[in-house]
Amino acid sequence: MKHLLLALAVVLLAACGGGKAAPTATPIPPKTLDTPTSVPITPTLPPPTATSLPATVAPTAVPGLVTSLDDVQKAVIQIEAESNSVNPAGEATAMSGRGSGFIVDPSGIAITNNHVVSGAALLKVWVGGETRSRNARVLGVSECSDLAVIDLEGDGYPFLEWYEGRAKPGLDVYAAGFPLGEPEYTLTRGIVSKERAAGETNWASVDNVIEHDATINPGNSGGPLVTAAGQVVGVNYRSRAESNQYFAIGRAAAIPMIEQLRNRKNVDSIGINPEAVKLDSGLTGIWASAVQSGSPADKAGIKPGDILVSLEDLDLARDGSMADYCDILRTHAPEDALKVKVVRFATKDVWEGQLNGRPLEKAFSFEQQAQGDVAAGGAANQAQPAYTDYVRITDDSEALVMEVPKEWDEVDGSPWTLDSGEVIGAKLTAQPTGASDGPLVYLAAAQTDPEQFDADALLDQNTFKETCKTYEGRSDYADQVYTGRVDKFSGCGANNSVTFVVIAAPEDRSYFTLMMVVALTDADLQAADRAFNTFEVVGDLPEPSPSQDSGASDNNTGSSSDSGNATVTSDTANVRGGPSTGFPVVATLSQDDRVQAVGRTSDSQWVKVDLPDVPQAWVASRLLEFDDDIANLSVAAAPTPPPAPVVSGKPCPPYLHRPKPGMGLLLVENHIGEPLHIDKANTTQKWDIPAKQGDTPGRLLLDLAPGSHEFVLNTPRGEGTMRVDVKAGAGGLIPIIYDTELNIYPLEIPASCR
């Protein structure tokens, strides 16, 4: 490196000579002096010729380009956006907010933040502090990157260019804009303190954020962060004044996004003014304070004031940020249909549908269904405050979970039995201690034959017509997991309660649920909705007891006849409800039993066999000898994998939660003692996992859609890749250790995890 630097210096010195010819010197012969003399010996040099001086070419000036800090104001704008904002309660407020921006093209193209212009019905713009406003229109926005491009009327504007260097810590920077809604232009000075800072907020999810200490105030949003030469380093969008930290969206993240926005494309957006919220009830989601006409959100039926609580079955804003919402949008094409669930507090309704697909429809709600009915019950049913504290409960077999008010402390998780004592499934009930006439929530689940499931017949067996004054009728029931039928009764028992009985089943009809609610107040109905929305079957349902007239003595359903096309070769062979050891054992076979194989998995590791009264029967192919080539069997459709294993008796670690419906979990642990950076291949998703501290590894927990996912790992020692196959409801653990092969292990999830 030393020789390289010397060589570079020689080249630079030669370049610094410009275009002059080297002057020639007349040599002076050596002269012997007896004593020193004070007369200097000056060589005589001929003057350089005029032709050795190159002509000086002045740089071409770009009309309108700002090239100094003093002129930055000419290209900075103040923006006023007039709009209506609707809060979650449905209350609309006319708003007129002001922010900043800056012009980047003489035609009037300007940059600002999305949160400055989102939802605006009218934009007014003042250029450089002028007193007359101009009109402008929005060309494109990005909700997640908090950027917007607008077009001012007219042309011939002064404009700013981008700083091409790195925003290194220590770089002098200036924040320009029109803060606090006032017409006076301000310029504050500071330095870059961090080149790459975290960019998650409750209104945006931004990469490549620059942290600096040039003061910005409300109204500076969208204004430029510039160098001493007036070049743009970033777009100011966030302040943390109490710690003197201010943030700007860097050039690397802004420029590619801006190029798309100026071409009239909205990016990572559905057409709302979003903000991550967490309500006192514990509900989290993305609040849409405004909705753009004609946008995907508008076409789906989302209204101003709605809260998006889930997208693609993933709960939103659990950490108070926009990260999950934006990650989903960034991993789907703008035209993809996305499942969405919305809470509309103005009418206390839950709506479900799709963006770019099926419009929102009102989902079932006990509170909505019984509106006014509990009040008609009399003095015993007067209004009470809403329940605020909820607890998670589980049955004795740890197959069922739900959330109920902490006041409902009389919990029964014993098996679901018939009057004869025969076990038919799992059960979970909750009510206040001693409340024999309600309120109550009763949930039970049992295995069933999909071909014989009949919700109406089961409801007819569980009627309350004799104990309730009025039978209100039967209607369809549907939520995100179950479909079925519901009966409603009023004037029940001594307290004239409202009672609902629901029979429903998941799509595969492998089991059914009996759900019953007894409510005295609106607060009870709200609690019932919470219980039903959090109800999950997370473990194996208890095996039904053999019926007395079935003649069954065990669960061996194999056949010893000569029929079939495969023979059991092991002493015993477990038959499972799906093609993996994660599925429950539904039957056993003995050596030399003959079975009829009717399908296989794509890798031929498992075969589906035909067994009486067992709709899903799978056996490991290594336990069978086939009469013909297994490849001749068709690939059979497999059931949904079971949920991740639940471990009882352990507290839930703070970094863990249960898989969301339709998703899988991946936990990456950093054991290398150095920071670990992970990029998801072919996406913009990236994460930094801190180094191991003592015996505690750095951790990253990811909710991933089913399928194959590839990641790139970067450590101080080098780079590597890993590919992970994710299954819905399953969890995997990958420890990262130097000089050790990557392996994935089952992820144990305590029952206490939510």
| 497-533 per-position pLDDT tens digit | 899 999 999 888 889 999 899 998 888 888 888 888 7
Residue 609 included in any domain = yes
What lies within 8 Å, CB to CB, of 266 at 6+ separation is 140, 141, 142, 295, 334
Contact between 545 and 422 (Cβ < 8 Å): yes
Domain-located, residue 33: no
- State yes or no: pLDDT of 487 exceeds 80: yes
Give the count of beta carbons closer than 10 Å to the beta carbon of residue 543: 14
Both 438 and 479 in one domain: the answer is yes
Long-range contacts of 243-248 (CB under 8 A, 24+ apart): 244/213, 244/215, 245/193, 245/211, 245/213, 246/175, 246/190, 246/211, 246/212, 246/213, 246/214, 246/215, 246/216, 247/197, 247/199, 247/209, 247/210, 247/211, 247/212, 248/209, 248/210, 248/212
Q: Do 378 and 437 belong together in one domain?
A: yes
The whole-number pLDDT of residue 561 equals 39
Answer whether 642's CB lies under 8 Å from 743's CB. Answer: no
**Band (378; pLDDT cuts 50, 70, 90):** very low
The answer on pLDDT for 39 being more than 50 is: no
State the total domains in the chain.
5
Angular region, 230: left φ>0, alpha ψ -120 to 50, beta rest: left
Is 118 tagged catalytic?
no
Q: Are residues 245 and 388 in the same domain?
A: no
Residue 9: predicted pLDDT = 30
* Confidence (pLDDT) at 262: 93
Does residue 615 have a pLDDT over 60? yes
What φ, ψ does residue 598 adopt, rounded to 5°? -120, -5
pLDDT at 113 over 90: yes
The mean pLDDT of 177-198, rounded to a whole number, is 93
Q: Which residues pair with 411 in a beta bridge?
A: 430
Strongest mean pLDDT among 132-146, 396-410, 581-595: 132-146
| Cα within 13 Å of Cα(741), Cβ side | 2
In a domain, 40, yes or no: no
| Tokens (6 digits) for 166 | 């790195």
Q: Quick check: is 283 in a domain?
A: yes
Rounded Cα distance between 133 and 123, Å, is 10
Residues 318 and 393 in one domain: no
Quick one: pLDDT band at residue 449, thresholds 50, 70, 90? confident
Residues in the chain: 754
What CATH number should be reported for the domain holding residue 345? 2.30.42.10
602 in helix, strand or coil?
coil
Residue 28 maps to a domain: no
pLDDT of residue 372: 61
Which residues lie below 8 Å from residue 36, measured CB to CB, with a gap of 6+? none
What average pLDDT does this structure show over 297-304? Answer: 95
Tell me how far apart the alpha carbons of residues 137 and 121 are, in angstroms, rounded to a whole number.
Answer: 10
CA 656 to chain centre: 15
* Residue whose C-alpha is closest to residue 253's, from 157, 330, 335: 330
In angstroms, the CA 438 to CA 432 distance is 8
What per-residue confidence (pLDDT) applies to 266?
94
Domain-ending residue, one of 363, 381, 397? 363
Please state, as a whole number, how many other Cβ atoms lie within 10 Å of the Cβ of residue 540. 18
Residue 580 lies in a domain: yes
Looking at mean pLDDT, say which of 4-13, 137-146, 631-640, 678-687 comes out highest: 137-146
In order of 81, 109, 194, 232, 734, the CA distances from 248 in angstroms are 21, 20, 11, 10, 35
Structure tokens belonging to residue 751: 């029952």
Peptide bond just before 439 cis, omega within 30 deg: yes
Can 146 be counted among the known catalytic residues?
A: yes
Encode burial over 570-581: b for 16+ CB neighbours within 10 A, e otherwise: eeebbbbbbbbe
Torsion of CA 132, 133, 134, 140, to 10 degrees: 150
Task: Give the mean model confidence (pLDDT) for residues 277-288.
Answer: 80
Report yes or no: 535 and 400 within 8 Å, Cβ to Cβ. Answer: yes
Of residues 427 and 384, more confidence is placed in: 427
Selecting among 221, 365, 497, 752, the annotated active-site residue is: 221
Q: pLDDT tens digit string along 143-182?
A: 999 999 999 999 999 999 999 999 999 999 999 999 988 8
Longest Cα–Cα distance of the chain, Å, equals 139
Instruction: Tell me which of 320, 342, 363 is where a domain ends.
Output: 363
CATH of the domain at 414: 3.40.1000.10
Structure-block tokens of residue 698: 């750095």
The pLDDT value recorded for residue 661 is 60
φ/ψ of 617, rounded to 5, equals: -130, 115
pLDDT reading at 53 higher than 60: no
- Check whether residue 119 and residue 193 sit in a common domain: yes
Residues 621 and 673 in one domain: no
> For 214-228, what is the mean pLDDT?
94
Give yes or no: residues 78 and 205 share one domain: yes
Check whether 606 has a pLDDT greater than 60. Answer: yes
Cα dihedral 325, 328, 334, 338 sign: negative
Residue 339 has what pLDDT?
93
* pLDDT score, position 675: 86
Q: Check whether residue 358 and residue 390 sit in a common domain.
A: no
Q: Enter the DSSP assignment of 24.
A: P
Whole-angstrom distance between the N-terminal and C-terminal Cα of the chain?
A: 57
Q: Looking at 256-270, 481-495, 672-686, which range is the least confident one?
A: 672-686
Whether 496 has a pLDDT exceeding 90, the answer reads no
3-state secondary structure of 578: coil
Q: Is 493 within a domain?
A: yes
Q: What is the C-alpha to C-alpha distance for residues 302 and 291, in angstroms, rounded to an integer?
A: 8
Question: 552 falls in which pLDDT band (50, 70, 90)?
Answer: very low
For 1-19, write each residue's pLDDT tens digit: 333 222 323 222 233 333 3
Count of CB atoms situated within 10 Å of the CB of 192: 23
Q: Return the exposure string of 404-417: e unless at least 16 CB atoms fall within 10 Å of the residue's CB, then b.
A: bbebbeeeebebbe
Looking at 83, 100, 115, 365, which residue is catalytic? 115
Q: Any idea what the CATH number is for the domain that residue 673 is in?
A: 2.60.40.1120
Q: CA 227 from chain center: how many Å?
A: 36
pLDDT value at 52 more than 70: no
Indicate whether 586 pLDDT > 70. Answer: yes
pLDDT of 348: 60
- Please tell me whether residues 378 and 476 are part of one structural domain: yes
Average pLDDT over all residues of the chain: 81
pLDDT for res 620? 87
- 487 included as an active-site residue: no
Do 398 and 477 have their domain in common? Answer: yes
Q: Which of 83, 142, 146, 289 is catalytic?
A: 146
Highest mean pLDDT among 9-18, 52-61, 719-728: 719-728
Please check the confidence at residue 621 and state whether its pLDDT lies above 60.
yes
Residue 69 vs residue 535, higher pLDDT: 69
Average pLDDT over residues 70-92: 90
Same-domain status, 76 and 221: yes
Domain boundary among the residues 344, 363, 382 is at: 363
Whether 110 and 136 have beta carbons less than 8 Å apart is answered as: yes
Domain carrying residue 660:
646-750
Same domain (yes/no): 184, 245: yes
Asked if the structure places residue 314 within a domain, the reply is yes
- Paired strand residues for 733: 667, 745
Average pLDDT over residues 50-69: 67
**How far apart are alpha carbons 520 and 657 in whole angstroms?**
33
Q: Which residues contact 617 (CB under 8 A, 6 or more apart)?
A: 575, 576, 577, 586, 587, 608, 609, 610, 611
Stretch 66-79: mean pLDDT: 96
